[in-house]
Amino acid sequence: MSPTTTASSSSSSSSQVPSQGGQTKAKAYPFWLGGCSASIAALFTHPLDLTKTRMQTSTSKQGMLPLLLRTAKDEGLRGLYVGLSASLLRQMTYSVTRFGVYDKLKELSTSPSSSRSLDGTQAKPEPLPAYKMLLFASIAGAAGGVAGNPADIILVRMTSDVNKPPDQRYAYRNSIQGLHRMVVQEGASSLLRGLNPNLVRAVLMNASQLATYDFFKTKLVATGLLEEGTALHFSASFLAGTVATTVCSPADVVKSRIMNAASSSGGRVGAWTVLKDSLSKEGPSFLFRGWTPAWMRLSPNTIIVFVVLEKLRSLVDYVRSD
């Protein structure tokens, strides 16, 4: 059995391994593979994530490229990676959870008896219906949103700290110190700041990224133009990233502004308050502020995440075949 013949499909959360009697049985992939692939992607796309957040939390009309270049000029290469520790912590909480839950739900939805061929061996499971993929991805997104919310707050604060006057900046040294200071200074409940819009964004993100990746992958294979491989993974993830950016932009902007609000600004800042005030001052276009850097970040991020994830799954298959 070679990596080529065992290359995994995203629509399956398990690989086939030999068992007694010549039959095969499904064995789930490690739940942390999604978090690892997302962390690797974050190393490449963090400067764009930083630029997107700074655009979302500022009322300045400065464009993406000028802001990116100004950051590099004023803060150097290191400045482009401010908040990287929070980004990695977020991926190892949010992404580990969302990928793990999504794969588990898909695994549980596949009946062992219905996926056996006539000779009694494990057959390749049929692709899940679109509504199931959307449902499972939404549930996984909600779970990931809760798990990753504290790290998300620290990420927003660390990357957008420069937008605040010097005496109002958080100045977190790293994500762990930031979490500790939040709990001590603002109380444990501060870890839930912005949870509602974050949950909305997480559900939208997963439904429009994980589910659409599986959907586009299945449809592209059905055309006969592409088969299992890097070209298929790249194409499906590019389309999924574009859809996810557009669907998630409004919730992402509101979430960033709530999380960036100081606790001293009059208590909790609700999504409706942010939405109403921002609409009156900036108009509806604010909902898509930072779309370009968000797309430039999310599209390659999605591509790297899924291509790396597929390669990691192929590596797991190869190791299991030995």
| Closest among 152, 19, 159, 16 to 88, alpha carbons compared | 152
pLDDT digits (tens, 9 = 90+) for 236-249: 999 999 998 888 88
Tokens 């970040």, residue located = 297
Paired tokens of 222: 């059905």
Beta strands (DSSP E) in 45-171 are none
pLDDT digits (tens, 9 = 90+) for 107-136: 888 755 444 444 444 555 667 788 888 999
Comparison of pLDDT for 142 and 10, the residue scoring more = 142
pTM of the model: 0.76
Paired tokens of 188: 């444990």
Give the H/E segment covering residue 96. Answer: helix 96-109
List the domains of the chain with CATH numbers: 26-321 (1.50.40.10)
**CA quadruple 159, 163, 164, 166: dihedral sign:** positive
End-to-end CA distance of the chain: 8
| Closest among 246, 235, 251 to 295, alpha carbons compared | 246
pLDDT digits (tens, 9 = 90+) for 66-82: 888 989 999 988 999 99
Burial class (CB in 10 A: 0-12, 13-18, 19+), 59: exposed
Interior angle at CA 100, CA 97 and CA 106, nearest 5: 135
